[in-house]
Amino acid sequence: MKSLRRFIFCSVILALLIAPGSLFGQLSTEQKLADFQYLAGLYAKRYGPYEWKRDVLNVDLLNISTWLPRVSASKSDLEFYDLMSEYVASLNDAHSVYILPSSYTAYLNFVVDIYDGKLLVDSINRTRLPADEFGFVTGYELVSIDGESAQALLDRYMRYGVAANTRSTSRFAAQYVTFRPQQIIPHATSAPDISTVVFRRPDGGLETYRIPWSRAGLPLTSVGTYVTPSAARRTSAESIDELPQENPDYLQVLQRLQNCTLPDRGVLNFGSVQPVFVNALLPGFSLRLGFSGDPFFSGTFTYGDYRIGYLRIPTYAPSDANLALTLLAREIAYFQANTDGLVIDEMRNPGGSVGYANAVASYLMPIPWTAIGFEIRATSEWVQSISASYESAKAQGAPPDYLALLQQLKDSIQTANRQMHGRTPSIPLDDVTLEREPATDARGNVAAYRKPILMLIDEMSASAADLVAATFQDNARGPLFGWRTMGAGGNVEEWEGGSYSLGYSDVTESLMVRNKDVTTPDYPVTRYVENVGVRPDIEADYMTADNLRSGGAAFVDAFSRAIVDLIKNTPKPTEVKP
């Protein structure tokens, strides 16, 4: 629904921008100041992690005194948009981003990412860049574009790739070196027709190419003083509730609360069903799921004397959650009967729904477990929305558990308001209690996997994937293998960013809260996931040149050895620990 909303929004804005007379002039200083203060007020009212950012990151979004003179001094609409983007980026929040009303993108048809600290090519569009003319290959290091070094380019785009921690941010920024959407980068239109690109081969030699930029969409140069934003605002926001809904209307407030996901940022295999190391995994792998339309990639392989199950969860927002859970139950039953241990892969997972994520977790937890709670920003708007949903649910004969959940959410927010607290205590968003039971089958038998499990995570495991990793670790279900998760720790909702400039912003409205204190070298002792992420029990870095060249063979071998070691060191059910 969010992607549909954005499509409608940008379509309306583009229609306005190309209308006769709409490009006359720029926003006035008063309009810019009004919209900047509108955006700041939006975050002041709704932003969940405010105190965390203020006290730990020294970023006070309420202090806009230094921003207003810069807004007044901005000389163009694009410069003003850049300031709006910079303000939101200062929060260092993977969810919160300012988005321009533009469909324009410029791209060089190859993508780089950071391997061993270098910008290496990891994908090439050979339709646009045929090998006989553009002979560089995957694994080449990007040296410069039009004389600007790769590191300087990366530094320039860091602000547009903010993702809660430096490593994740750097990797998102790396995508923008050669892929520049104006929705995120206001001056994306400045890309030339052709760029001179220098690469370094693995043997140290340099190769230079003249590569044309491809373009899509219409560029945004100014909003103009003749735009009527109220019409666009009604189309993009209010009327979205009038579009056909798949679920009853009373579920919409719960879907908003449970929305813990990031949009696609261009990282290779981000949200993809196939794992990034698929070519290294497939030899000797018996594939079960992973074909077109499947919500998972699954199968088995043998390592030494053991049969290992593998299940990739690419997203916690499948197109059909009921079907996905049905298939998950089938796969878990198969793995329970036919494997010695199981590898769960949620690397490069952009998140999704809290409810679905917890449902998945219930198939991994064979004994009672505790879910992750959220502190919700306690606003009167939440009370109004939840109250309306409750009355609608009651009128439509909703199941009692929905009514109980809505009532509990409302009570928690009202109590926080009465006590003058900015947020609620840590509460569940998909049930009335954080205490959960394992999944069961139709006969009431435990359907969760009961043998050893290893979970793969990385810095692209985000939002609801942060949540599942935290749940897995807090309940001591098994070791986490890989790299720290992103630290996108809250739910997110999209809001208008100003009546004149017509941009919009994703705002983090809550804080994800773990069940035990976490100590890290770079943050105070905390239970928050925001910025901190979830740290692995076994650290292993996929982002190496060796893994890029081998398709991840070293990484696959490393986690295969780790799951076998886990199996060997896990007492059998009949064994008694000394």
pLDDT digits (tens, 9 = 90+) for 37-96: 999 999 999 999 999 999 999 999 999 999 999 999 999 999 999 999 999 999 999 999
Residues 329 and 382 in one domain: no
> Both tokens of residue 380?
């009167």
State how far Cα 78 lies from the chain centre. 26
Q: Residue 33 domain-assigned?
A: no
Average pLDDT of span 184-196: 97
Q: Residue 72 domain-assigned?
A: no
As a whole number of angstroms, the distance between CA 571 and CA 569 comes to 6
CATH number of the domain encompassing residue 151 = 2.30.42.10
Q: How confident is the model at residue 11 (pLDDT cuts 50, 70, 90)?
A: very low
As a whole number of angstroms, the distance between CA 398 and CA 405 comes to 11
With contact defined as beta carbons under 8 Å apart, do 329 and 257 qualify? Answer: no
Q: State the Rg of the chain over Cα.
A: 24
Q: Residue 429 domain-assigned?
A: no
> Both tokens of residue 273?
């069903």
pLDDT at position 247, please? Answer: 76
Residue carrying the six token digits 């409608």: 8
Q: Residue 471 domain-assigned?
A: yes
Compute CA distances 546 → 91, 158, 205, 473, whole Å. 34, 25, 19, 29
Residues 141 and 163 in one domain: yes
Mean pLDDT of the chain: 92
As a whole number of angstroms, the distance between CA 428 and CA 430 comes to 6
pLDDT at 190 over 70: yes
Residues 476 and 361 in one domain: yes
Write the pLDDT tens digit of every residue in 150-184.
Answer: 999 999 999 999 999 999 999 999 999 999 999 99
Which strands make up the sheet holding 214-216, listed edge to edge?
179-181, 105-107, 214-216
Nearest to 573 by CA among 370, 340, 350, 409: 340
Q: How many C-alpha atoms does 399 have within 13 Å on its Cβ side?
A: 6
Domain of residue 338, residue span: 249-374+435-569
Alpha-carbon torsion 83, 170, 351, 50, what sign?
negative
CA dihedral 468, 469, 473, 476 (to 10 degrees): 50
CATH number of the domain encompassing residue 356 = 3.90.226.10
Residues 203 and 273 in one domain: no
Average pLDDT of span 457-485: 98
DSSP string, 18-55: TSTTTTSS---HHHHHHHHHHHHHHHHHH-TTHHHHHH
179-181 vs 105-107, strand pairing mode: antiparallel
Residues 367 and 411 in one domain: no
pLDDT at 149 over 90: yes
> Both tokens of residue 41?
């007020």
Of 216, 237, 263, the last residue of a domain is: 216
pLDDT at position 8, please? Answer: 42
With contact defined as beta carbons under 8 Å apart, do 456 and 85 qualify? Answer: no
Q: Residue 61 domain-assigned?
A: no
φ, ψ of residue 204 in degrees (nearest 5) = 100, -15
Look at residue 413 and give its three-state secondary structure.
helix
pLDDT at position 455, please? Answer: 99
Q: Residue 22 domain-assigned?
A: no
Residues 122 and 209 in one domain: yes
* Other CB atoms within 10 Å distance of the CB of residue 387: 15
pTM of the model: 0.92
> Both tokens of residue 81?
């948009």
As a whole number of angstroms, the distance between CA 176 and CA 157 comes to 6
Residues 478 and 535 in one domain: yes
∠ CA 428-431-432, rounded to 5°: 80
Average pLDDT of span 226-251: 45
Residues 442 and 391 in one domain: no
As a whole number of angstroms, the distance between CA 562 and CA 454 comes to 8
* Other CB atoms within 10 Å distance of the CB of residue 417: 16
Residues 370 and 392 in one domain: no
With contact defined as beta carbons under 8 Å apart, do 409 and 377 qualify? Answer: no
Residues 146 and 121 in one domain: yes
Residues 309 and 391 in one domain: no
Total number of domains constituting the chain:
3
Residues 361 and 403 in one domain: no
Looking at 443-552, list the stretches that DSSP marks H as alpha helix, in order from N- to C-terminal side: 464-474, 545-550
In sequence order, the 6+-apart residues with CB closer than 8 A to the CB of 1 are 240, 243
pLDDT at position 227, please? Answer: 36
pLDDT at position 248, please? Answer: 87
As a whole number of angstroms, the distance between CA 387 and CA 21 comes to 44
Average pLDDT of span 186-196: 97
Q: Residue 58 domain-assigned?
A: no
As a whole number of angstroms, the distance between CA 233 and CA 224 comes to 16
pLDDT at position 223, please? Answer: 82
Q: Residue 25 domain-assigned?
A: no
As a whole number of angstroms, the distance between CA 131 and CA 150 comes to 22
Could you tell me how many residues make up the chain?
578
Write the pLDDT tens digit of every residue in 198-233.
Answer: 999 999 999 999 999 999 999 999 886 533 333 333
pLDDT at 577 over 90: no
> Both tokens of residue 151?
């590191």
pLDDT at position 114, please? Answer: 98
259-261 vs 351-353, strand pairing mode: antiparallel
Q: How many C-alpha atoms does 403 have within 13 Å on its Cβ side?
A: 10
pLDDT at position 572, please? Answer: 82
φ, ψ of residue 122 in degrees (nearest 5) = -120, 0
